Structure 1
Amino acid sequence: MNPVASPFPAWALWALLSAVFAAMTAVLAKVGVQGVSADYATLVRTVVIVIALALLVPLSGQWVDPRTLPSRSLLFLILSGLATGASWLCYYRALKLGDVAQVVPVDKLSVVLAALFAVSFLGERPSAREWLGLLMVGSGVLVLVWRR
């Protein structure tokens, strides 16, 4: 029996779940930063993530000795971790100062920037349809932050 062909790529479900959890993160974080410094809130969030992953990775059989990782992979994972930390610090500070409905759309400008970085540094070539979507996302952010 052949499974029903999906019009969506396999990665799309995971990306959709990521979006759902990111949306939940923003709302939960906005409540969580009340009465707490944004940096301390980021630390608590990070500790929770570390504990959760420290349990998940070994239980799912994905643990490997970190000393066996290729040095290039390790370097870029470290750089990615530093970028993530900087992003989270900025995100929590923005949530402390602004409404979720203001902060999250501007944060999602990362979609456009990631595509531009991928074109510049990874040689990716988005299709015309993808460029149109990126233009729409970028335009939407401008509409949300534009002041009269």
Structure 2
Amino acid sequence: MWWIYALLSAVFAALTAIFAKIGIKNVNSDLATAIRTVVILFIAWGIVLFKGSAKQAQQLTPHNWVFLLLSGCATGLSWIFYFKALQLGEVSQVAPVDKLSVALAILLSAIFLGEPLTTKTLLGAGLIIGGTFVLIF
């Protein structure tokens, strides 16, 4: 079932790139990111409130909070740089380079989470890295 959500994520990430490229024309990329963030804020909290998940916030540990806040900071910085890259470059180049994050996540998951690096994951990460360099140069 996880792969269905992952595919949906990929579809919406692709739409994000297209919509963002159209939307940032003659707009400051930081302002565009801020607007996008407000929309996401309303959608995410709407889902949490609709599902009744807000009460679970009381169960979060300080460890949860620290890493969720760090994740939020990383996401915010990623979006700021992504929108700036989209403003300056072509979607067909920026989006695939952005997906270099997949290969980096594989490597970082092995280092920090102890996840196994199988031949298959190393080959996949290597192909992503190779494809990224093809698109850059």
Shorter-normalised TM-score: what interval?
over 0.9
CA distance in 1: counterparts of 2:121 and 2:108, whole angstroms: 15
Select the residue among 126, 130, 144 that pairs with 2:135.
144
130-139 or 60-69, larger mean C-alpha shift = 60-69
Task: Name the structure 1 match of 2:120.
Answer: 129
Q: How is 1:59-138 mapped onto 2 (pairs within 5 angstroms)?
A: 59-64=50-55, 66-138=57-129
Residues 24 and 32 in structure 2, CA contact (< 8 A), matched pair in contact too = yes
- Mean Cα deviation higher: 134-143 or 54-63: 54-63
> Alignment identity in percent?
47
Any residues of structure 2 matched to 1:2-13 within 5 Å, and which?
A: 10-13=1-4
Superposed CA RMSD? 1.0
- How far apart, CA to CA, are the structure 2 residues paired with 1:81 and 1:94? 20
Q: Which runs of 5+ in 2 are unaligned?
A: none
Is the aligned partner of 1:40 residue 2:31? yes
Q: Is the 8 A contact 2:106 2:121 kept in 1?
A: no
| 1:65 positional shift | 5.3
**Alignment partner of 1:126: what SS?**
coil
Deviations 1:71-95, CA, capped at 9 Å, x for gaps: 1011000000000000000000000
Rg comparison, structure with higher value: 1
Q: TM-score, normalised by structure 1?
A: 0.89
Q: Which residue, out of 20, 24, 42, partners 2:15?
A: 24
1:13 partner SS? helix
Aligned pair count reads: 137
Which has a greater percent of helix?
2
CA distance in 1, matches of 2:57, 2:10: 29
Match in the other structure for 1:6: none
Tell me the equivalent position of 1:15.
6
Alignment partners' CA distance in 1, 2:123 and 2:10? 20
Secondary structure of the corresponding residue to residue 64 of structure 1? helix
Unaligned runs of 5+ residues in structure 1 are 1-9
Give the match for residue 4 of structure 1: none
- Secondary structure at the residue paired with 1:124? coil
In 2, Cα distance between the equivalents of 1:66 and 1:35?
A: 39
